[in-house]
Structure 1
Amino acid sequence: MPVRHVASFDIGGTNLRAAVVAVDDGTARVVSQRRQETPNHLILPAMSAAERLDAVLDFIVAAVSEARQSHVIDAVAAAFPGPVDAAGRIAALPTLWGDDGQALCPLALDGLLAARLPGLPICLFNDVTAAGHRFVGQHRDFALFTLGSGVGLKVFIDGQAQVGPHGAGGELTHMVFDPSPGAPACDCGGRGHLGALASGRAWQRVCAAAEQDGQQPDLDGFVEPLARAVAMLHYALGLELFLFSGGLSEALGETLRAAIVRRLPEQGWQCGQDWNAMVRLAPDDDAHALIGGALAACRE
């Protein structure tokens, strides 16, 4: 089969990223990429959700047009930080537009892109689902966490993402982990969710508070909800591989991984688990959703 070129997108809460990915016999490499700041609800609070959506669509269309100047583009793969249902509709995008854009959902984004990019196959993914497809050639049963603007999670069993008909699978990150009234607010509008407690934005908040108090940030305390989530998946599903990726994972690296491992023995029954072997860092090239989305698009 000839090499296929996919225009692949990772639409994050902090950055919009575009790449041309060459896929050849099940392997993929990034040929070129570009990025720009995401017009999210925190940096541009006056912009409406509809305006943010238009800005994202404009970015995708412009990047595809640029890619076509040097490559024959065979498909478009777009990964978004929200649940995607079986019909390809996005149920929510809280890290992009907070809770004020929920009126736009469920959003048939593949149709909007197809109208702007006629003739190109459009493949729409949750961002962590896309990222996970990079690893299914190496692993069959695993959980992938992404720690970025929010917290993403997907479980793969026998190489397939377990998302359910409404795309809710893996949204453990929007469960309440801190029920106290003063728990941090989540982008979705709730409080005390894992995504509000253990994201990159949450770590920035912890570091700022510690600096104000003249103390070091408490990393072991910060990662406890992540350790609890790992333990839940291990005890419920028997998973024994947990990969951590995303900007915060890359920034803290082994320090973060070791802290999670330290907090795991207190989470439940200890029956010989080798937590140190189970919890791993994904490669730190920050291209998982771009590469995984392209691979998945070529499999469809």
Structure 2
Amino acid sequence: MTESAFTVVDLGGTTLRIGRYDDATGVVSAVRRVPTAGLAQHPGVPAADLQPKVVDQLSALAADAVERHGSAALGVAFAGPVTADGRVLAAPTVWGGGGAPLPLRQLLEDRLGLPVVVVNDLTAAVWRYVVDPDQQPFCLITVSSGIGCKVYRRGEVLLDAEGHGGELGHWTCDPAPDAPLCDCGGRGHLGGIASGRGVLAAARRAAQADPGGYARSALARPAPDPARLDSPAFVAAVRAGDRFATAVLRGAVAHLASAVTAVFTSIGVRRYILMGGFALALGQHYVRLLGEELERLGCFGLDPAEIRRMVVLGAPDDDHGLVGAGRLLAARGAGRTAVSAA
């Protein structure tokens, strides 16, 4: 067993990524990506039935990888709130609303026989961007199948022991009784409106409300039927400057801008790093729209030039959780003791 080799996992609502982290070099290699055996693969299946499917999939992949990697420990970045002792409290994008809290760390340690650390995926990803414990505080935001965030300040991620904090995607930004549904079952949540899935749903609603406008947009070429519209086609239309698609995206981004201004005005964080497949695919188009909405709303005490510098893109890959989990394992003793969700 090589002490500096860890197996790392990033388990999201759409994709499960697993790879080898070399502590000596800080490099992730041998990454394998497979569809997560959850809600996206089995729509309509109850959470209680999806939980064992996901655990079985993760256990089998991890057991194989640990042996191949010669791992000293396993680090799991999980798409949902996680307590300090590695219990998953909820996973709306993985198995939907409902489901009992899942002692994932203990289940994996029992099955694999080695130390395991389980933290929220954004908590793990934060550590990819920590170069100095005393660096400027920042907020990492992911926009993918859901929305989440974590704030880093003075050597820690701001959470309590029960994993509360950083679930900006479940902030109710639309209180209307018919507001869009979130994967957790709630209505009007930011993640249900401004995530990749939420924006696609908004585009389909806009097409129903304005069929002529949709027919004239670039979206209609790959998907004459709005029900068949997918994320790559939407991203391509925005990047090509399509007005219909950009207007839909701006409507969703306006809600995220409101959330960012709330974070800034409450705790004064001035740096926001964007990651997640949807935001990174849109790239600077997304940053520009978010910056424009932030300027429109205003950030109390900041001038427009300062506001424009607040938002930056993260690394252009999907290895955030993997690299972060590896760095966290190394920093916290390779998972040999309980690791705080912070």
Residue 160 of structure 1 corresponds to which residue in structure 2? Answer: 156
1:223 aligned onto 2:221:
no
Shift of 1:159: 3.0
Cα contact 1:140–1:159 (8 A) shared by 2: no
**3-state SS of 2:145 partner:** coil
1:42 Cα offset (Å)? 4.5
2:113 counterpart of 1:115: no
Equivalent residue of 1:113, what SS?
A: helix
Instruction: Please give the root-mean-square deviation of Cα atoms over the aligned residues, in Å.
Output: 1.9
Structure 1 residue 277, shift from structure 2 partner? 1.1
**For the Cα contact (< 8 Å) 1:141–1:159, is it kept in 2?**
no
Paired residue for 2:144, among 148, 164, 169?
A: 148
Counterpart for residue 236 of structure 1: 266
Aligned-residue offset at 1:270: 4.9
- Residue by residue over 1:258-284, the C-alpha shift from the partner in whole angstroms, topping out at 9 and shown as x without a partner, is 000000123243532512211001011
Map 1:45-60; keep pairs closer than 5 Å. Answer: 45-60=43-58
Q: Distance in 1 between matches of 2:190 and 2:126?
A: 20
Match of 1:203 among 199, 222, 226: 199
Q: State the match for 2:172 in structure 1.
A: 176
Aligned amino acid, residue 329 of structure 2? A
**2:76–2:118: 8 Å Cα contact kept in structure 1?**
yes
> Letter of the aligned partner of 2:37 in structure 1?
P
Tell me by how many angstroms 1:233 deviates. Answer: 1.1
**Residue in 2 that maps onto 1:7:** 7
Identity in percent = 37
Shift of 1:99: 1.2
Residue 156 of structure 2 corresponds to residue 125 of structure 1:
no
Distance 1:207 1:46 in 2: 23
Q: 2:27 aligns with which of 26, 29, 37?
A: 29
* CA radius of gyration, larger in: 2
For the residues of structure 2 that align with 1:297 and 1:140, how far apart are their CA atoms? 23
Equivalent-residue separation in structure 2 for 1:114 and 1:228 (angstroms): 41
**Aligned with residue 303 of structure 2, among 264, 272, 291:** 272
1:46: Cα distance to partner?
Answer: 4.9
Distance 2:46 2:169 in 1: 25
SS of 1:134's equivalent? Answer: helix
Count the aligned residue pairs: 293
AA in 1 matched with 2:287: R
- Structure 1 gaps of 5+ residues are none
Displacement of 1:232 in angstroms is: 1.0
1:77 lines up with 2:75 in the alignment: yes
Q: Give the drift of 1:158.
A: 1.2
Q: 1:256 aligns with which of 286, 301, 311?
A: 286
| More strand per residue | 1
- Quote the Cα distance in structure 1 between the aligned partners of 2:116 and 2:90: 19
Mind listing any 5+ residue stretches in structure 2 that lack a counterpart?
Answer: 215-243, 333-342
1:55 Cα shift?
2.6
> Does structure 1 conserve the Cα–Cα contact (< 8 Å) formed by 2:10 and 2:321?
yes
Deviation at 1:100, TM superposition (A): 3.2
Q: Of the candidates 317, 321, 329, which is equivalent to residue 285 of structure 1?
A: 317
Q: Is the 8 A contact 1:142 1:157 kept in 2?
A: yes
**Alignment partners' CA distance in 1, 2:43 and 2:192:** 19
- Say yes or no: does 1:98 pair with 2:96: yes
Bigger shift: 127-136 or 57-66?
57-66
Q: What is the aligned partner in structure 2 of residue 17 from structure 1?
A: 17
Runs of 4+ off more than 4 Å? none
The structure with the largest helix share of the pair is 2
Counterpart Cα distance in 2 of 1:65 and 1:230:
40
Structure 2 counterpart SS, 1:143: strand
Moved more, 68-77 or 150-159: 68-77
The 3 A distance-change label for structure 1 pair 87 and 61 is closer
How much has 1:155 moved relative to structure 2?
0.8
Contact 2:20–2:29 (CA under 8 A) maintained in structure 1: yes
Matches within 5 A, 1:38-49: 38-49=36-47
- Deviation of the 1:122 alpha carbon: 0.3
The CA deviation at 1:236 is: 0.9
Q: Report the CA distance between 1:41 and its aligned residue.
A: 2.4
Cα distance, 1:192 vs structure 2: 0.6
